[in-house]
Amino acid sequence: MQTLPAAAGPVLTAATIGTGLMAGLYLSFDVGVMPALARRDDRTYVTVMRRINEVLDNSALFGLLFVGVFLATGVAAALQSRLGQSDAARWTRTAFVLYGVSIAVTMCVNIPLNRMLARAGAPAASPNFGAVRGRFERPWTAANIARTVACTAALAALGRALVLHHRAAAPRP
């Protein structure tokens, strides 16, 4: 039982940092990447988005972070519950659900759109880049905003859980 208290703080901290990194990645698309691409022609838009998706799809670090945050948050919630820190556990479970929403949006909207873009945007296929972009841009951007909001809310919940965890763990006079 001695390792449980020792692991609870670091796991909660890792989940919080990872969630912050994911929220930051999503936000960078909302405020930088997508607005910059919106100003480009259809061919450039499709080509760049395809390349970005290829890089992320082949990034072991991105995959580890994407899944690892979800797992770490779930483990953190379980550890907080086992320690009897019900308030911290409740906030951590909330973060787990919110991060799960970001995963669901990714799996149900962003990834299918990325796959559609990859198939339709192959240069050898001589695609109509305007039509491809038209089917992709608005729903992908809206879904990304939803991921950003869910992930940022999860980060806030984890921040609250960290405060509560440290208050409960602080020595009493």
Q: What is the pLDDT of residues 53-77, one digit of tens each?
A: 999 999 999 999 999 999 999 999 9
Angle at 156 between CA 68 and CA 113, to 5 degrees: 55
pLDDT at position 120 is 83
pLDDT band at 49 (very low <50, low <70, confident <90, very high): very high
For residues 116-126, average pLDDT: 75
Q: What is the pLDDT of residues 81-93, one digit of tens each?
A: 999 999 999 999 9
Query: Domain coordinates of the chain in residue numbers?
Result: 3-169
pLDDT band at 4 (very low <50, low <70, confident <90, very high): low
Tell me what the pLDDT averaged over the chain comes to.
93
Relative orientation angle of helices 42-57 and 129-169, to the nearest 10 degrees: 40
User: Is this structure's pTM higher than 0.85?
Assistant: yes
pLDDT band at 1 (very low <50, low <70, confident <90, very high): very low
| Contact status, residue 160 vs residue 80, Cβ threshold 8 Å | no
| Contact status, residue 72 vs residue 50, Cβ threshold 8 Å | no
Structure tokens at 25: 């990645």
pLDDT at position 3 is 58
Q: Does 15 have pLDDT greater than 60? A: yes
Instruction: Express as a percent the part of the chain with pLDDT over 70.
Output: 93
Angle at 33 between CA 44 and CA 107, to 5 degrees: 95
